């Protein structure tokens, strides 16, 4: 049979091709994923961008003159932001503040995280099991809870109302109010406070990424340096440091973009002294219906995040990760701290007491104080926990366990985290599957890029985008696809799931990459179809990754405030939002109670997952 003897039919070819594409569920899933990601990520971005160029009804008068109609194309908003009398207060100052916070927090948390990671992984530090648990706790306490604790310690009477713990001590010692304001106020509020609190929060990212990198370095590499006669400092500088540099740079990006997008902490610690950043401007503009200005700011923030990622990629270049070169499995000989050991141990212990244990204790203490700032036994009460409404206290706000709003928020939070944990993880694993299978191919790269976009969008801006997009019904050719979702639980869920996709799918990808393709091929040979393979082979083998991914999403959504603050309505409040509201309405004890409950849930779930599921946060993050 020569080639020319074969009959050839174009119709048959087309039929076979179509059949091959349609009958392969993988293709269908990839197609659905790309369409959904485009609709949920690209489309909102474009929509937001285009709306900053459309004149709204309420700004008709501001534009001035006649001949303008609502809905026409305009540069008004961008001009207002970039070239008007308001530019300085609306853009320049907040932008500078944002960058200042971003840089300072990055430096602070990288140094702190890297040093801790090195001590924990490579040194002969004592009590390692205790320290390695303690080091992770800050990740579980939301940053806004930390700022609450910060205020509980340092609040000054003139700006913040009742005095905090330290302030009260100083007052007792007979120091005058003026002196206290002069000394404590700059610590209590403003950039210093924000940087310290955020650094104490975000160092966890550096810690997790760098310790993963350090773990994968074969200590023979360092020992080789020692044999060559290098001192410990030189080895650290010339061998260890360059090897973990890629991990540190990824941590910088993560920290920087998170710090820029953060809102809760700025609101707690910045607003009393009118320290404003892009994110707080974005929030207040959005609250006062200046939607277009808020969107323009969101785009600006996305650009900053994108630029930082770009610079990071240029810096790292091809040396994406050395981790695999050294390879695991090598021996790891801890490096002796020598005479410094006791001192370092004491400093670390002190650090954990001051930075982690004390804030939590003070928070608990304050939640049991009838009147803030009065440190005496008569003042002790459980009213804010379980009291029934007393009109004399906090305008009759009952204790949280008798407060329907709290119970609703608790229910909402649990519902949101569970639904999100489950769906987010499943989507994450499926997208991870696509990324892993499609490595080096167009569809794989496309999905990887699409999924990465939400990572660049600061939380608060992301909430803003979804608010604008889903507050009206979504129509296609006059048919309503999705009704208006404003104020629904669905909107909350969609927003959280999509925003957390980058993490979830990264965890999924690294999980799926560990499953050898041949295991699936063996099943193909046996005649197992796509779904059978997924259920019988892929899913059982990726169970561990499922649990880690679930944990990551659960913890991060349980404490999420920035992302959902713009889309909250009374019926959909979650615990973080309730705490935020109480704090803003001057009911700090109730706020403390809510925060403590939330923290306890996070900690409990983390502990359970650790004990039963062998979940590893670092594993799902490092990806």
Contact residues toward other proteins (CB under 8 A) are 1, 3, 6, 8-9, 12-14, 16-17, 20, 516, 518-519, 521-528, 532, 536-537, 540-541
Helix axes 404-437 and 588-608, enclosed angle (nearest 10): 40
Cβ at position 24, least distance to other proteins in Å? 10
Cβ at position 451, least distance to other proteins in Å? 24
Instruction: Calculate the alpha carbon distances from 81 to 94, 298, 300 in Å.
Output: 12, 12, 11
Instruction: Name the residue nearer to other proteins (CB basis): 29 or 528.
Output: 528
Instruction: Name the residue nearer to other proteins (CB basis): 514 or 584.
Output: 514
Cβ at position 516, least distance to other proteins in Å? 7
How far, in Å, CA of 29 to CA of 571, rounded? 35
Angle in degrees, CA 446, 32, 572, rounded to 5: 100
Cβ at position 421, least distance to other proteins in Å? 23
The DSSP secondary-structure symbol of 474 reads E
Instruction: Name the residue nearer to other proteins (CB basis): 18 or 83.
Output: 18
How far, in Å, CA of 69 to CA of 498, rounded? 35
Give SS3 for 380: strand
If residue 29 lies in a helix (H) or strand (E), which one and from where to where? helix 25-37
Cβ at position 26, least distance to other proteins in Å? 13
* Site of tokens 């799926």: 512
How far, in Å, CA of 269 to CA of 188, rounded? 7
Cβ at position 522, least distance to other proteins in Å? 4
Instruction: Name the residue nearer to other proteins (CB basis): 1 or 69.
Output: 1
Instruction: Name the residue nearer to other proteins (CB basis): 245 or 537.
Output: 537
Instruction: Name the residue nearer to other proteins (CB basis): 73 or 531.
Output: 531
How far, in Å, CA of 467 to CA of 450, rounded? 20
Cβ at position 28, least distance to other proteins in Å? 16
Cβ at position 17, least distance to other proteins in Å? 4
Burial of 358 (0-12, 13-18, 19+ CB in 10 A): middle
Instruction: Name the residue nearer to other proteins (CB basis): 1 or 479.
Output: 1
Instruction: Name the residue nearer to other proteins (CB basis): 2 or 331.
Output: 2
Give 119's contacts (C-beta < 8 A, 6+ positions apart): 125, 131, 344, 348
Angle in degrees, CA 238, 239, 241, rounded to 5: 80
DSSP per residue over 475-522, as a string? EETTEEEE---TT-HHHHHHHHHHHTHHHHHHHHHHHHHTS-HHHHHH
């Amino acid at each position: 049979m020569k080639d020319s003897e074969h009959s050839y039919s174009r119709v048959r070819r087309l039929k076979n091709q179509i059949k091959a594409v349609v009958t392969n569920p993988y293709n269908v899933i990839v197609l659905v994923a790309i369409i959904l990601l485009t609709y949920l990520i690209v489309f909102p971005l474009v929509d937001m961008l285009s709306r900053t160029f459309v004149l709204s009804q309420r700004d008709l008068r501001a534009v001035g003159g006649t001949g303008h109609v609502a809905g026409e194309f305009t540069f008004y908003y961008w001009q207002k932001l970039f070239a008007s009398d308001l530019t300085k207060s609306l853009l320049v100052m907040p932008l500078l503040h944002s960058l200042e916070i971003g840089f300072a927090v990055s430096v602070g948390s990288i140094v702190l995280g890297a040093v801790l990671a090195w001590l924990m992984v490579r040194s002969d530090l004592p009590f390692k099991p205790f320290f390695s648990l303690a080091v992770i706790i800050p990740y579980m306490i939301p940053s806004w809870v930390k700022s609450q604790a910060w205020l509980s310690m340092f609040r000054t009477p003139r700006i913040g109302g009742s005095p905090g713990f330290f302030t009260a001590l100083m007052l007792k010692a007979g120091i005058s109010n003026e002196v206290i304001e002069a000394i404590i106020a700059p610590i209590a509020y403003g950039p210093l406070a924000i940087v310290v609190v955020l650094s104490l929060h975000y160092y966890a990212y550096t810690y997790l990424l760098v310790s993963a990198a350090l773990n994968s370095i074969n200590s023979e590499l360092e020992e080789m340096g020692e044999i060559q006669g290098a001192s410990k400092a030189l080895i650290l500088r010339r061998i260890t440091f360059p090897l973990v540099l890629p991990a540190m740079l990824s941590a910088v990006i993560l920290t920087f973009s998170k710090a820029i997008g953060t809102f809760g902490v700025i609101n707690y610690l910045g607003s009393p002294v009118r320290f404003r950043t892009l994110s707080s401007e974005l929030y207040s503009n959005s609250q006062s219906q200046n939607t277009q200005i808020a969107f323009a700011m969101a785009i600006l923030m996305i650009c900053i995040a994108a630029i930082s990622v770009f610079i990071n990629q240029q810096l790292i270049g091809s040396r994406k990760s050395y981790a695999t070169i050294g390879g695991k499995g090598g021996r790891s000989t801890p490096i002796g701290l020598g005479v410094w050991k006791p001192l370092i141990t004491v400093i670390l212990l002190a650090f954990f007491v001051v930075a982690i244990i004390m804030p939590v204790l003070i928070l608990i203490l304050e939640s049991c104080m009838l009147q803030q700032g009065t440190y005496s036994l008569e003042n002790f009460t459980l009213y804010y926990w379980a009291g029934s409404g007393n009109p004399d206290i906090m305008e009759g706000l009952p204790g949280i366990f008798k407060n329907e709003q709290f119970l609703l928020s608790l229910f909402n939070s649990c519902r949101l985290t569970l639904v999100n944990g489950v769906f987010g993880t499943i989507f994450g694993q499926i997208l991870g599957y696509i990324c892993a299978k499609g490595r080096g191919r167009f569809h794989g790269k496309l999905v990887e890029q699409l999924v990465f976009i939400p990572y660049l969008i600061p939380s608060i801006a992301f909430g803003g985008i979804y608010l604008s997009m889903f507050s009206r019904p979504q129509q296609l050719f006059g048919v309503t696809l999705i009704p208006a979702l404003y104020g629904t639980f669905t909107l909350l869920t969609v927003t959280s799931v999509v925003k957390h996709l980058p993490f979830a799918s990264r965890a999924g990808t690294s999980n799926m990459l560990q499953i050898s393709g041949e295991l699936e091929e063996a099943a193909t040979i046996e005649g197992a179809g796509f779904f059978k393979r997924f259920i019988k082979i892929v899913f059982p083998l990726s169970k561990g990754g499922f649990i880690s991914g679930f944990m990551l999403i659960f913890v991060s959504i349980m404490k999420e405030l920035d992302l959902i603050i713009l889309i909250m309505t009374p019926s959909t409040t979650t615990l973080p939002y309730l705490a935020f509201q109480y704090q803003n309405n001057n009911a700090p004890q109730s706020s403390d109670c809510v925060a403590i409950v939330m923290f306890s849930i996070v900690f409990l779930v983390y502990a359970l997952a650790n004990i039963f599921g062998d979940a590893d946060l670092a594993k799902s993050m490092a990806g």
